[in-house]
Amino acid sequence: MASYLRISNNEERQNLRTVYGDEFLQWVPVYFKVISDFHNAMGTIFYNIPLFWSITRMKYEIHHWIMSDLQFPYSNYSAVFIETGQEIEGVRPEDGKILEGETITFADKYTNQNKWPSFYIKLSHRVA
């Protein structure tokens, strides 16, 4: 039986369509690529996303986790989430449509797709 950890382990990263769980929680591994507003890669990470989280909660939690795990001062950066795989003519993938906060759960939004989504997280310095 698996036990929940915030950052995905190697087995979870190898099986991106698998739902993991224990007696308390079900989750899926999701890939995040962090980029600056100038499109510089700043890091990549897999996080385990609980299926019951709303999209709004996922964005909130991941923003905090990214700041901590990549050692950026949270108060200095804003973050936007962009789902990968968008094909918009003339638009770079990391400049695609921004994922808005929603009350729908992660599972309800993404269960019908062939794979769990992955995301760009674009960080921008906040203007004081």
CA-CA distance, 41 to 99, in Å (whole number)?
19
What is the rounded CA–CA span in Å between residue 69 and residue 33? 13
Asked if the model's pLDDT at residue 38 lies above 70, the reply is no
34 forms beta bridges with 43, 121
Q: Which amino acid, residue 6?
A: R
- Name, in order, each residue with C-beta under 8 angstroms of 10's C-beta and a sequence gap of 6 or more: none
DSSP secondary structure letter of residue 76:
G
pTM for this prediction = 0.83
Region 93-121: mean pLDDT is 86
Please give the average per-residue pLDDT across 41-50, as a whole number: 88
Q: Write down the pLDDT at residue 36.
A: 79
CATH number belonging to domain 10-125: 3.10.20.90
